[in-house]
Amino acid sequence: MPLTLAGMGEKSIIRRVGGNPEVRQHLSDLGFVAGAEVEVVSALAGNLIVNIKESRVAISREMAGKIMV
């Protein structure tokens, strides 16, 4: 399922990251790689705030839809 469907406070393991090569590289640079643990902290104005690798990152709902957990 895409990260957008994960519940608040629910820890998930990233299974796959989709999108074009530039998007995948950008998400990889932020730490969104297969096998990493991610937790949705909150959703504000269509964007998600997530904990990934001990950092908080804000990503758009569109980007979160490319991350499968």
This prediction's pTM: 0.88
Structure tokens at 43: 């959703």
Residue 30, domain CATH: 2.30.30.90
Compute φ and ψ for 12, nearest 5 degrees.
Answer: -135, 160
Give dist(CA 32, CA 52) in Å, integer: 7
The pLDDT tens digits of the residues spanning 33-53 come to 999 999 999 988 889 999 999
Span 16-20, average pLDDT: 94
Report how far residue 57's alpha carbon sits from residue 45's, in angstroms, rounded to the nearest whole number. Answer: 15
CA–CA distance, 61 with 68 (Å, rounded to integer): 13
Count of domains for the chain: 1
* Domain range enclosing 38: 3-68
